[in-house]
A and B are shown apart, each in its own frame.
Chain A
Amino acid sequence: MDEAVNGKSVQDQSGNGVGLRPDDELTWHRVHPVSPLVRGWVAVAAVIFIFGRNSLENVFSGHWDGNPGSLAQTAGAPVLVIAAVVAAAVVVFGSAFFLSWRFTRYQVTDEHVHINSGVVFRQQRRARIDRVQAIDVVQPLLARVFGLAELKFEVADGGKSAMKLSFLKLPEAQRLRAAILARASGVAGDPESPGEVHEAPETHVLALKPGRIIAAAIFSSTTIFALCVVAAAVVAVVWSGEPAILVAGVPIFIGIGASYWKSITGDFNFRVALSPDGVRLHYGMLETRAQTIPPGRVQAVGISQGPVWRPLGWYRVHINVAGYGADSSNGGSRSVLLPVGTLDEVMAVLGLVFPDPGVDNPFAVFAAGLQGPGSAEGFVHSPRSARWIDPLAWRHNAFRATETALLCRHGVIFRNLQVVPHEHTQSLGLRQGPLMAALGLVDFELHSTAGPVRPLVHHLSVENGQRLFAEQAARAATARRIHRREKWLAPDDDPAPVAEPAGSPDPMLEHAEPAHPVAERAEPPQEHPHDLPPQEQNRGD
């Protein structure tokens, strides 16, 4: 049924691993016919529930009437009503679903992804494939039952409007993802079968055990909140001598339980893998999600640790990706690179997103950035005068610039390390209020794309702040000139990377380097004439 749109036949969809040819202008595909139902099942369920309950009540009240004549009447009418309602619902939902399915078409050409949708308000969307920031394959629970998946294609628009294809058969979604990524990367096609692509091989890097996820949920701020609520409840009961007062707490406890449930099911089976197309994250218990973030698309990384996790040595890693924006759906879980990890695991995932840390001893430098305090490993912290505003944290608030990234460390109770590659610096700012002026301090802020990481260095001395401001502007300008290309595997670059031998996830920063030849810093631009074509493409946009 997907075939024969516009009289042109669609390529064979059953071929497995054959890859996908680019569509020409007249070839359109449809999403899976069940998709409107999978998307709209809540509405259907609500209608069935409301009418079903009313009708059942009528039927049962008819049975209990006791009078056979009235039973026939009261039971007869509802049956007709039920039949009519069901028929009407089937017609209404069915035609709505059919129209919505019928009017949704998509096309993946060499350059663009097109999606046309909408019945009354038609929408035609077109996104450039080389501008892809990330691709997600999402499977909500009901979609998993049908073996379907949603494909989300992110472009850099602050997370407002992803290109969504919901729903496709899972293998089809994966093939499309591979095709889009292959075209975005500019990988050289197989000369014998031009246009066909194969899914890039995935190398396992690390997985989180269920025990760790559950422990992370238990040792979290939710638990502190729960303990506070319990304490308050106990106090209230003792003080009033009225155990019934606990009823008031029930909604709060339901909320706490839901929060635990969400954080455990959301991060369950968290796996990080690496492919030449980027970092791939798999997670979820009921709704599963596979995120792919191509190389160089991570704008900033934030590593944080609260006081509860300190003794356990765990950290959480967030990222800014232009397409994710300040997306708060799913509790912002899409911008989590690692929900809970030890220092070694943090270093391993950092190595995936920043293959080139720009220092000789990355482990020591990043560890100093995470653990502080003081000026070990070249960190520059606030001057002594800052202790009047930051009595505890002044030796923790620090920065360190490596050759490829700026590291901002702050906080003593909630520790944070923010890493921004120089080539992803958007703009810089210095701020000073009257109190800071009196103490000779200045705040340095670095603007990244919308997301959970907002890089900032608190309370530098004016001299250091000014120097950082000037140097960082120069470093960002240099990094922009030698910026890696948008197409990360284009054929005129080094030969396509060979996947590492599986089963050797070495948790060091050097780990990812063999798989990312393009991520190595390029020479100055004059020696790289082939850096120009993508620039010209940019201009055309």
Chain B
Amino acid sequence: MTAAGRKNLPKQLSSAIDPGDVVFLRVSDKLITARFISSGVGALIFLALTAVPLVLKLTGVWAGYPAWLAWAAPAVVVIVMIWEMILIPRQVRAIGYAERDDDLLIRSGILFHRVMVVPYGRMQYVDVTMGPLERMLGLSTIHLHTASPGTNALLNGLPAPEAARLREQLSARGEAKLAGL
């Protein structure tokens, strides 16, 4: 556990299917901001689209449009948006990873919960990506690929230095433990 000194160790949401004796590291809380922004922008665009009939009705251009529908559509969007916003911090806090001797553990999700173990010796390559929003917040995404298309090992919201460290660590361990297919 090389990064065990990091301060965001505890306060992990625990769940029934996590392996018991493992301490997961959490990803950066800035990912909450990033997800707020990205899903907020998407939701605002959607809200603007669904609000068009309401605007048309209020300005009298399309007076015949049923009032309940004009109000209901944006209202539903707003409710879903708020619900998503409430979920985001919990979802981000649910993402965790742990480096063990032989493999990397990744967990995610609360309601739809998933735990995955990726052996270092099975990694074919590691992708580190950084979108514009992530770059602004100093975050990176790391994606592990094995020979299996089913391995969907994606870690969002790692601080850039931690992502670089993890990448080096994974490559080094992968090389040391590399096995054939």
Q: Could you tell me the distance between the alpha carbons of A278 and B11 in the complex, rounded to whole angstroms?
A: 53
A477 to chain B, nearest CB (A): 4
Q: Which size class do A's interface residues fall under?
A: 35 or more
Q: Does A431 contact B (CB under 8 A)?
A: yes
Q: Does A473 contact B (CB under 8 A)?
A: yes
Cβ A538 vs Cβ B178 within 8 A: yes
Chain B residues with Cβ below 8 Å from A450 are 148-149
Partner of A433, one of B112, B149, B153: B112
In the complex, what residue of chain B is closest to A434 when comparing beta carbons? B111
Chain B residues with Cβ below 8 Å from A297 are 181
Cβ A426 vs Cβ B148 within 8 A: yes
Chain B residues with Cβ below 8 Å from A539 are 175, 178
Q: Does B19 contact A (CB under 8 A)?
A: yes
Cβ A477 vs Cβ B151 within 8 A: no
Chain B residues with Cβ below 8 Å from A133 are 181
Chain B residues with Cβ below 8 Å from A158 are 147, 149
Q: Does B121 contact A (CB under 8 A)?
A: yes
Max chain A C-beta neighbours (<10 A), residue from B113, B116, B147: B147
- Scan residues 125-166 of chain B and give those whose CB is less than 8 A from a CB of chain A: 146-151, 153
Partner of B102, one of A437, A449, A462, A477: A477
Q: Which size class do B's interface residues fall under?
A: 20 to 34
In the complex, what residue of chain B is closest to A446 when comparing beta carbons? B150
Q: Does B26 contact A (CB under 8 A)?
A: no
Q: Could you tell me the distance between the alpha carbons of A129 and B147 in the complex, rounded to whole angstroms?
A: 19
Cβ A469 vs Cβ B122 within 8 A: no
Cβ A480 vs Cβ B119 within 8 A: yes
Cβ B116 vs Cβ A428 within 8 A: yes
Chain A residues with Cβ below 8 Å from B103 are 473, 477
Q: Could you tell me the distance between the alpha carbons of A510 and B82 in the complex, rounded to whole angstroms?
A: 63
Chain A residues with Cβ below 8 Å from B146 are 426-427, 447
Cβ B150 vs Cβ A466 within 8 A: no
Cβ B17 vs Cβ A426 within 8 A: no
Cβ A437 vs Cβ B16 within 8 A: yes
Cβ A442 vs Cβ B119 within 8 A: no
Cβ B121 vs Cβ A480 within 8 A: yes
In the complex, what residue of chain B is closest to A450 when comparing beta carbons? B149
Cβ B148 vs Cβ A483 within 8 A: no
A511 to chain B, nearest CB (A): 25
Max chain B C-beta neighbours (<10 A), residue from A297, A423, A469: A469
Q: Does A299 contact B (CB under 8 A)?
A: yes
B63 to chain A, nearest CB (A): 44
Partner of A538, one of B111, B116, B122, B180: B180
- Scan residues 450-484 of chain A and give those whose CB is less than 8 A from a CB of chain B: 450, 454, 462, 465-466, 469-470, 473, 476-477, 480-481, 483
Q: Does A378 contact B (CB under 8 A)?
A: no
Cβ A449 vs Cβ B148 within 8 A: yes
A395 to chain B, nearest CB (A): 22
B5 to chain A, nearest CB (A): 26
Cβ A426 vs Cβ B116 within 8 A: no
User: What mask results when residues 416 to 451 of chain A are scored 1 for a CB within 8 Å of chain B, else 0?
Assistant: 000000011111111111100100101001011110
In the complex, what residue of chain A is closest to B22 when comparing beta carbons? A470
In the complex, what residue of chain B is closest to A426 when comparing beta carbons? B148
- Scan residues 88-137 of chain B and give those whose CB is less than 8 A from a CB of chain A: 102-103, 111-119, 121-122
Cβ B181 vs Cβ A299 within 8 A: yes
Q: Does B179 contact A (CB under 8 A)?
A: yes
Partner of B119, one of A434, A437, A476: A476
Q: Could you tell me the distance between the alpha carbons of A535 and B180 in the complex, rounded to whole angstroms?
A: 8
B97 to chain A, nearest CB (A): 13
In the complex, what residue of chain A is closest to B175 when comparing beta carbons? A539
Q: Does A216 contact B (CB under 8 A)?
A: no
B77 to chain A, nearest CB (A): 24
Known: A473-B103, A480-B119. A427 touches B17 (CB 8 A): no
In the complex, what residue of chain A is closest to B153 when comparing beta carbons? A427
Q: Does B177 contact A (CB under 8 A)?
A: yes
Partner of B179, one of A322, A440, A483: A483
Q: Could you tell me the distance between the alpha carbons of A534 and B117 in the complex, rounded to whole angstroms?
A: 26
Q: Could you tell me the distance between the alpha carbons of A424 and B19 in the complex, rounded to whole angstroms?
A: 22
Cβ A466 vs Cβ B19 within 8 A: yes
Cβ B148 vs Cβ A534 within 8 A: no
User: What mask results when residues 116 to 139 of chain A are scored 1 for a CB within 8 Å of chain B, else 0?
Assistant: 000000000000000001000000
- Scan residues 384-425 of chain A and give those whose CB is less than 8 A from a CB of chain B: 423-425
Cβ B153 vs Cβ A437 within 8 A: no
A133 to chain B, nearest CB (A): 8
Partner of A428, one of B117, B178, B180, B181: B117
A-B CB contact pairs (8 Å), 9 listed: A426-B147, A426-B150, A427-B117, A429-B115, A430-B116, A432-B114, A449-B148, A535-B178, A538-B179
Chain B interface residues toward A at CB < 8 A: 16-17, 19-20, 102-103, 111-119, 121-122, 146-151, 153, 175, 177-181
Which 10 pairs of residues, A with B, have the shortest CB-CB distance? A447-B150, A447-B148, A426-B148, A480-B179, A477-B102, A429-B116, A426-B146, A427-B118, A427-B151, A430-B115
Instruction: Please give 14 more A-B residue pairs, beta carbons under 8 A apart, in addition to A427-B118, A449-B149, A449-B181.
Output: A156-B147, A425-B122, A426-B122, A426-B150, A429-B114, A429-B115, A430-B114, A433-B112, A445-B150, A465-B17, A466-B19, A466-B20, A470-B19, A473-B103
